[in-house]
Structure 1
Amino acid sequence: MNIFEALRESHERQRRYAQALVQTSGNSEERVQAYKQLKEELHAHETAEERFFYIPLMAHDTGVDLSRHAISEHHEMDEMIEELDETEMSSPSWLATAKKLSDKVHHHLEEEEHKFFQMAGKILDDSQKQSLANQYVKEYEEQLAEG
């Protein structure tokens, strides 16, 4: 497995969880569960991805701007999660923020897969792609376990 395949696995989970979240209502068990899954997935993915994808790319001039942009989008998503944590789940503003988060997640994943991965594919050699995948998966699993 290379780093792109490893990241895409989490991307697919994020898409499913974000979609499920915006289809929930009120203070339901489904909403609680969907939010918990998305929040944990985003945290584990962002942490591992920043450490074992974006930081290595920042060592190259061509990787700096895209990496900074991606990390800033991670921060925006984290701020939306903080807002959700501080808002009553049954509130209409909670669902509005959840929809903004879902939109941001989908936008970010599209951008990564269609822009960042192509750039990174030119910067990283095959052994780096394999090594980063192994490190990413290990960190991702540790972050999920800490949940």
Structure 2
Amino acid sequence: MKNIFDVLKDSHEKQRLLMDAILQTSGDTQARREFYASLKDELTKHAAAEERHFYAPLIQSDQSIDMTRHGIAEHHVIDKVIAQLDSTDMSSPGWLTLMKTLQHKVEHHLEEEEKSFFQTAGKVLDSEQKETLARKYEREVA
């Protein structure tokens, strides 16, 4: 049975692959539009489900409240960059600059989660919670 860390890492890997694929494209092409739509969908579903099924139980613990608040704040920063991308012409150099900004923000967030948040959460959540949260997360993003 997968735990919450496994399912979050799966999503993180998908996000990384999509961002890399987008940055291999140029101009307002069908491929760029499709990769970006997939990335935006993945980021949106991931953030909502992660906040409900990972951050929500962690915010209740003194040990993990600060990291949880930080993670949620980073989701909002990422949302703002996505909004900027959505209002910028995909074929403009500015769009690519914003995409690189998004990649930087997302990769920073994922790295923090994987290298420190997960370790703290592993101490706060028990094995049953980790598996239950994984099932809830997977149902929501499906």
TM-score bracket, normalised by the shorter chain, equals over 0.9
| Residue ranges of structure 1 left out of the alignment (5+ in a row) | 142-147
- Over 3 Å off, 4+ runs: none
Give the structure 1 partner of residue 138 of structure 2. Answer: 137
Supply the distance in 1 between the matched residues of 2:23 and 2:80 (Cα, whole angstroms): 18
Which whole-Å CA distance do the structure 1 matches of 2:107 and 2:74 have between them?
11
Residue 65 of structure 1 is matched in structure 2 by 66
- Asked whether 1:107 is paired with 2:108, we answer yes
Partner in structure 2 of residue 79 of structure 1 = 80
Partner of 1:47: 48
Cα offset for 1:139?
1.0
Structure 2 residue 17 is the aligned partner of structure 1 residue 32: no
RMSD: 0.7
Aligned residue runs from structure 1 range 2-41, under 5 A = 2-41=3-42
Identity %: 52
- Distance (whole Å) between structure 2 residues aligned to residue 118 and residue 8 of structure 1: 13
How far does residue 63 in structure 1 lie from its aligned partner after superposition? 1.1
Distance 1:88 1:60 in 2: 43
2:32 aligns to what SS in structure 1? Answer: helix
Matched length: 141
For residues 98 and 72 of structure 2, the distance between their equivalents in structure 1, rounded to whole angstroms, comes to: 20
Give 5+ residue unaligned stretches, structure 2: none
Q: Which amino acid aligns with 2:108?
A: H
**Aligned-partner Cα distance in 2 for 1:131–1:40:** 24
The TM-score normalised by the length of structure 2 is 0.97
1:35 deviates by 0.5
Q: Write the distance in 2 (CA, Å) between the matches of 1:134 and 1:85.
A: 32
